[in-house]
Structure 1
């Protein structure tokens, strides 16, 4: 009887040790072990792509695994978004996109997913100021004078929109609201054709990311008026903010963030969040972000989610009040 009890105790101890070893292995799971793919839903070479590649290189250095950027442009960013939404929720496929990502439901009549419910929020990484430029053929140099001229002769003022439902679109609507303008808009397929028309004088106003407009602005091909951020941009520190120009409520920006598929395991979500925040700190320390003119953002996952919800709510209200109808 005594021998049987000893054997039973031995079996139980062995089983317990096995469970402890297994649970320890799970608790100390090495993540990530394989390569990480970051999908960018826009073409290579733009501001979003440039920021994504900086982050990817830093993450690769920090984590010791390959981090690959995969550009999947098209359909207002939803082709790349859909690829991440349907990917395995293992944390190895991520989406790096701009504020446009969370506005999908407001900008499209039949969005392919719910951006607030069908993804895991991982980290918001940066905010990006927008720049307002006008045609160099116009005499105005101050925002208040442009507002006055556009109110007096609305049929002579047109604003270009590089994309519908994007931060540039929202900033243009905000401009019209703050200036009490009946501002007609012209929709373009991207920034380049809009810039061509503003430089040529057929379209008068354009608001878009400062990184997209600064070259032509510095060359005198278009006339820079204001940045829409709360503070001046280090890329063009001589350009005032809208607030400095007499319109304190005119504040708009784009921003970048990282998402994963829905139901991303909490431990992996937090591991990625921590790694991205640390990579952001290193990019700031090294000065790598400076040429892009973007400001770093380090916040919790919950803050990122709440910020996105608030951003969508405010943007939806602005779009609705303007009479915009998604296509």
Structure 2
């Protein structure tokens, strides 16, 4: 387990024990059998930490028995498919990320409609994206990278942590906006992408800040810009992408909870209220912020509108570059 995974695992455990005393639910749910919280990503990632926080809160505040299942594979499709096929009774939930909303746009095998075939319960957190460069490259600024990549595009490659990730779409937008033709190489997660970046076999990576900023300390990778409106207090020396030369370049990853289509509205609302309450607790807020994660508190309707806007933006971007699902 690497340092970033150890930090996130510690955060998951720490977040779980901060819960308030149990408030037992009324009626059949969540009693009767364990609630499965399916995370379609490996242990140690932010998705996993937030899934374990959800499971802990279901147990501690609703008196449920909840277990996290990491069902990985297919860029998140394996775990998502398991939730799509589950009965809509509140005993199977999906704890995933941005990928869930755009998966059908980028994966041939994803034939579901996230707005039609899943019930959104809550958005829980978000994280800005940051662009980093291999420390083996001499370029220090975004302008220098763009000039070098235009002159010799075959000398450059972008590592992509996962098809359909926020970083994947942000990379497509970077190529489109700058006019460069940098090849994209897809990995099975951020860690193997980072490993190749540090070794110099990949040159660039755009991914969530919680995954990349902690890795910039030893010089093997350097941050070029963060995709936010203002500089982050946790990385004040990293310019925004706008300051670096790309105005209005803003991207973030985000994380949420879904249930199968047809799950009773009162169950969805109960989970939404539970996570809003959790994400307002000062101890939770501070712990997430220390990992460059921002808690989100939204109603179900607000989250539906947010996801619809994200899908619309992704659809327009992919259509503009004639992207074909892989």
TM range (shorter): 0.7 to 0.9
Tell me, yes or no, if the aligned pair for 2:136 and 2:220 is still in contact at 8 Å. Answer: no
CA drift at 1:31: 4.4
Tell me what 1:184 maps to.
Answer: 183
Aligned residues: 301
Tell me, yes or no, if the aligned pair for 1:178 and 1:250 is still in contact at 8 Å. Answer: no
TM-score by length of 1: 0.84
1:298 alignment partner, SS class: coil
Tell me what 1:7 maps to.
Answer: none
Tell me what 1:242 maps to.
Answer: 241
1:125 alignment partner, SS class: strand
CA drift at 1:251: 0.6
**1: CA distance, partners of 2:44 / 2:286:** 19
Tell me what 1:126 maps to.
Answer: 125
**1: CA distance, partners of 2:284 / 2:112:** 37
Within 5 Å, give how 1:290-309 maps onto structure 2: 290-309=289-308
CA drift at 1:163: 1.9
Tell me, yes or no, if the aligned pair for 1:106 and 1:326 is still in contact at 8 Å. Answer: yes
CA drift at 1:285: 4.8
**2: CA distance, partners of 1:177 / 1:283:** 40
Matched, 1:167 2:156: no
Flag the 1:115–1:284 CA change in 2: closer, same or farther, 3 A: farther
CA drift at 1:30: 6.7
Farther off after superposition, 308-317 or 196-205 = 196-205
After superposition, the C-alpha distances for 1:300-322 in whole angstroms (9 at most, x for unaligned) are 21121121122112112212222
Tell me what 1:103 maps to.
Answer: 102
**2: CA distance, partners of 1:257 / 1:59:** 15
2:309 alignment partner, SS class: helix
Tell me, yes or no, if the aligned pair for 1:51 and 1:292 is still in contact at 8 Å. Answer: no
CA drift at 1:60: 2.8
1:289 alignment partner, SS class: helix
**2: CA distance, partners of 1:58 / 1:313:** 32
1:133 alignment partner, SS class: strand
Matched, 1:49 2:48: yes
Within 5 Å, give how 1:1-327 maps onto structure 2: 29=27, 31-34=29-32, 35-282=34-281, 285=284, 287-327=286-326
Higher alpha-carbon Rg: 1
TM-score by length of 2: 0.85
Tell me, yes or no, if the aligned pair for 2:279 and 2:285 is still in contact at 8 Å. Answer: no
Flag the 1:113–1:44 CA change in 2: closer, same or farther, 3 A: same
1:318 alignment partner, SS class: helix
**1: CA distance, partners of 2:268 / 2:283:** 23
1:288 alignment partner, SS class: helix
CA drift at 1:78: 1.6
Farther off after superposition, 283-292 or 310-319 = 283-292
CA drift at 1:146: 1.8
Q: Which runs of 4+ in 1 moved over 4 A?
A: 283-286
**2: CA distance, partners of 1:139 / 1:68:** 47
After superposition, the C-alpha distances for 1:265-324 in whole angstroms (9 at most, x for unaligned) are 112221221111112212655623123211111112112112112211211221222232
**1: CA distance, partners of 2:316 / 2:186:** 21
Could you tell me which runs of 5 or more consecutive residues in structure 2 were left unpaired when the two chains were aligned.
1-25
Alignment RMSD, CA only?
A: 2.2
Flag the 1:186–1:296 CA change in 2: closer, same or farther, 3 A: same
Could you tell me which runs of 5 or more consecutive residues in structure 1 were left unpaired when the two chains were aligned.
1-27
**2: CA distance, partners of 1:236 / 1:268:** 39
Tell me, yes or no, if the aligned pair for 1:234 and 1:293 is still in contact at 8 Å. Answer: no
Tell me, yes or no, if the aligned pair for 1:283 and 1:289 is still in contact at 8 Å. Answer: no
Tell me, yes or no, if the aligned pair for 2:285 and 2:294 is still in contact at 8 Å. Answer: no
